[in-house]
C-alpha cells in the first residue's frame, strides 16, 4: 500500500512533500520520511509514526533544498521495525542517492539471494534496498543507465521516485498497477504523487497520470524529460477504487467516489435486499452504500457512528468483552435501527471478522433482519502487487460460499458484487488488475510468492 511523493524545483520542497504525505496519510500510518537535496547533499529524516507527529517546523527547516522525495509506510504483519521506514538513502560510486517505492516486487527473494551471493549486505527486509543495491552494483556509467539496468531486473508492481543530488527520476511499472500522477506547482516546479488528493492540498495543478512503463527525468532548468522504457500493458488496480484510495482522488481520469457509487448501484441490481434502511460501514462503505440505497430506492442513514480517535489498543480484550475493539471504533444509533430490516454495506470482506462483529452489534441494537452486502467480489487470492492481504487460507471466501459465510457471521443474507459487475462499474475501457478476485497473476508471482513484508 504506502504513498510516495516527489517534488522538484520547489522553493521549499520539504514543506510541499510534508503536506502531500499528510493528504495521503490513509495509505500508510506506520512510518513516514522525507529526504531533500540541495545540490550538494541529501538529508533524510524518517521515523515511526504519523506525518503530523513525526515532522516539526524545525525538522522541515533542516531538510533544505528544492528537490524532495517522501514516503508513508503501511504497517504489515510481522515487520514493524523503524529501520524499514523510507526513503532509503545510500552513498555509492556516483555520490548520494535516495529512493522511495510504492508497490511490491514479486522476484525480491531471487534478486536478494543473487545480490547476497555477490557479497551484498542488507539492513532491512525492504525490497527498496534491493533496488538501491542493483543501482550501486550496475556496471553502467551514468545514473540513468544504472537505473535502467535495475528496472530490467525487477518484476512486479512499482512506482519509484529516485533522487540524486541534482536530479529526480520517476518510474512506473509497465502495468501501471499502483497509481502515480504528475502535477505542476503554482510557484514553479513539479510534483508526482500516488494520489491526486495531495495536489489538492498543496495547490498543484494536475497534469496527467505517469504512463505505465514511463520514466520521467527532472533536471534543473529543463522541462521533465519522458522516456517510454517498456511497452505499456495497463492494468490499474481495482482495489484502489474499491477500498484504498481517498474518495476525492482521481485515478486514470476516474473519480474514486463516483466509482464507489457505481459499484453500490450495480450491487443493488445484482443482489437486492428487501429492507427498510441502508447503512454503511463507516468510513469504507459510505459511497457504495449511498449507491446501493439509490439503486433500491430505500432510505440511506449513517446509522453507525465511527469514533475517529481510536488508535491501537494494546490491552487484548478478554472473551467476555471480545467485541471491545470494534465497539471502541463503531457504535450503532439504536433509535434508527430498532425493529428495522437493514442492509449493511462494506467495501470488501477479507477474513470476515469485522462483518461478524458488525452484524452482532446491529442485532443487539434491535435490528429485525441484517442483510450484508459487499461492494466487491469475493476475495479468493492474495494480492502480490502492493495491497496487503493475508494468506490464501485466511481469506474466508477461499473456503466458504456466500451462504456459508452468511451463517458464520450471523447475517440473514450476504451478497457480493460479481467480477463482471465490478468491471462494468469501473469501465470496460481498461483491463483492471483483479488478481484478488480472479487469481490472474499477470505481472508475475503467485499466491505463494512473497507479499508486502517490507511494506507496500
Spatial CA neighbour of 108 closest among 139, 72, 146, 153: 153
Q: Cβ distance 374 to 414 under 8 Å?
A: yes
- Give the integer Cα–Cα distance in Å for 14 and 20: 10
How many angstroms from the chain centroid is the CA of residue 266? Answer: 24
CB of 353 to ligand AMP, least distance (A): 4
Answer for which of 158, 243, 381, 441 binds ligand AMP (CB under 6 A) is 243
CB of 356 to ligand AMP, least distance (A): 8
- Give the integer Cα–Cα distance in Å for 365 and 344: 13
How many angstroms from the chain centroid is the CA of residue 255? Answer: 16
209 versus 346: smaller Cβ distance to ligand AMP: 346
| Cell numbers standing for residue 119 | 557479497
- Give the integer Cα–Cα distance in Å for 112 and 129: 9
CB of 245 to ligand AMP, least distance (A): 12
Task: Confirm or reject binding of residue 306 to ligand AMP (CB under 6 A).
Answer: no
CB of 104 to ligand AMP, least distance (A): 12
DSSP 386-440: S-----GGG-HHHH--HHHHHHHHT-SEEEE--HHHHHHHH-TTS--B-HHHH--
Q: By rule CB under 6 A, what string of x and - marks binding of each residue 350-389 to ligand AMP?
A: xxxxxx-------------------------------xxx
Spatial CA neighbour of 387 closest among 322, 316, 452, 338: 452
The residue assigned the cell 502531500 is: 20
CB of 57 to ligand AMP, least distance (A): 32
CB of 376 to ligand AMP, least distance (A): 9
Task: Confirm or reject binding of residue 301 to ligand AMP (CB under 6 A).
Answer: no
Task: Confirm or reject binding of residue 284 to ligand AMP (CB under 6 A).
Answer: yes
346 versus 378: smaller Cβ distance to ligand AMP: 346
DSSP 150-161: HHTT--EEEEEE
Cis peptide bond N-terminal to 254, omega within 30:
no
Q: Cβ distance 298 to 342 under 8 Å?
A: no
Bridge partners of 332, per DSSP, are: 304
Q: By rule CB under 6 A, what string of x and - marks binding of each residue 307-346 to ligand AMP?
A: ---------------------------------------x
42 versus 409: smaller Cβ distance to ligand AMP: 409
Q: Supply the residues annotated as catalytic.
A: 2
307 versus 353: smaller Cβ distance to ligand AMP: 353
Answer for which of 281, 286, 343, 426 binds ligand AMP (CB under 6 A) is 281
DSSP 242-262: IIIS-TT-EETTEEHHHHHHH
42 versus 376: smaller Cβ distance to ligand AMP: 376
Task: Confirm or reject binding of residue 436 to ligand AMP (CB under 6 A).
Answer: no
138 versus 355: smaller Cβ distance to ligand AMP: 355
Task: Confirm or reject binding of residue 125 to ligand AMP (CB under 6 A).
Answer: no
| Cell numbers standing for residue 377 | 467480489
174 versus 290: smaller Cβ distance to ligand AMP: 290
Give the phi and the psi of residue 209 in degrees, each rounded to 5: -75, 145
Task: Confirm or reject binding of residue 349 to ligand AMP (CB under 6 A).
Answer: yes
Spatial CA neighbour of 200 closest among 263, 144, 123, 255: 255
Residues that bind ligand AMP (CB under 6 A): 243, 281, 284, 346-355, 387-389
Amino acid at each position: 500500500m504506502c504513498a510516495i511523493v516527489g517534488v522538484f524545483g520547489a522553493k521549499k520542497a520539504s514543506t510541499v512533500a510534508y503536506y502531500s504525505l499528510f493528504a495521503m496519510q490513509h495509505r500508510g500510518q506506520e512510518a513516514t520520511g522525507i529526504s531533500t537535496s540541495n545540490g550538494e547533499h541529501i538529508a533524510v529524516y524518517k521515523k515511526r509514526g504519523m506525518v503530523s507527529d513525526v515532522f516539526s517546523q524545525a525538522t522541515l527547516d533542516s531538510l533544505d533544498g528544492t528537490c524532495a522525495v517522501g514516503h508513508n509506510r503501511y504497517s504489515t504483519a510481522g515487520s514493524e521495525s523503524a529501520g524499514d521506514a523510507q526513503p532509503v538513502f545510500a552513498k555509492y560510486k556516483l555520490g548520494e542517492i535516495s529512493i522511495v517505492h510504492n508497490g511490491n516486487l514479486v522476484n525480491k527473494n531471487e534478486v536478494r539471494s543473487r545480490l547476497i551471493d555477490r557479497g551484498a549486505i542488507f539492513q532491512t527486509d525492504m525490497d527498496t534496498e534491493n533496488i538501491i543495491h542493483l543501482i550501486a552494483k550496475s556496471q553502467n556509467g551514468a545514473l540513468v543507465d544504472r537505473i535502467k539496468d535495475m528496472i530490467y531486473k525487477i518484476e512486479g508492481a512499482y512506482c519509484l521516485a529516485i533522487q540524486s543530488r541534482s536530479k529526480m527520476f520517476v518510474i512506473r511499472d509497465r502495468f501501471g498497477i499502483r497509481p502515480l500522477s504528475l502535477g505542476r506547482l503554482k510557484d514553479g516546479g513539479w510534483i508526482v504523487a500516488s494520489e491526486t488528493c495531495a495536489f489538492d492540498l498543496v495547490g498543484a495543478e494536475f497534469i496527467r497520470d505517469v504512463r505505465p512503463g514511463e520514466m520521467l527525468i527532472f533536471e534543473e532548468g529543463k522541462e521533465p524529460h519522458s522516456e517510454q522504457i517498456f511497452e505499456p500493458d495497463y492494468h490499474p488496480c481495482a482495489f484502489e477504487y474499491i477500498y484504498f484510495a481517498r474518495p476525492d482522488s482521481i485515478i486514470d481520469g476516474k473519480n474514486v467516489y463516483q466509482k464507489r457509487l457505481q459499484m453500490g448501484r450495480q450491487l443493488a441490481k445484482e443482489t437486492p435486499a428487501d429492507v427498510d434502511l441502508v447503512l454503511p460501514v463507516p468510513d469504507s462503505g459510505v459511497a457504495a452504500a449511498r449507491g446501493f440505497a439509490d439503486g433500491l430506492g430505500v432510505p440511506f442513514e449513517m446509522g453507525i457512528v465511527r469514533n475517529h480517535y481510536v488508535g491501537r489498543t494494546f490491552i487484548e480484550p478478554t472473551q467476555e468483552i471480545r467485541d471491545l475493539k470494534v465497539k471502541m471504533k463503531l457504535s450503532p444509533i439504536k433509535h434508527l435501527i430498532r425493529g428495522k430490516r437493514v442492509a449493511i454495506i462494506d467495501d470488501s470482506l477479507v477474513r470476515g471478522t469485522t462483518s461478524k462483529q458488525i452484524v452482532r452489534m446491529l442485532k443487539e441494537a434491535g435490528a429485525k433482519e441484517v442483510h450484508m452486502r459487499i461492494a466487491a467480489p469475493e476475495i479468493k487470492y492474495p494480492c502480490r502487487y502492493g495491497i496487503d492481504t493475508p494468506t490464501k487460507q485466511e481469506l474466508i471466501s477461499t473456503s466458504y460460499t456466500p451462504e456459508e459465510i452468511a451463517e458464520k457471521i450471523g447475517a440473514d443474507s450476504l451478497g457480493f458484487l460479481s467480477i463482471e459487475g465490478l468491471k462494468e462499474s469501473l469501465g470496460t475501457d481498461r483491463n483492471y488488475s483483479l488478481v484478488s478476485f480472479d487469481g490472474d497473476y499477470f505481472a508475475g508471482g503467485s499466491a505463494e510468492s512473497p507479499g508486502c513484508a517490507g511494506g507496500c
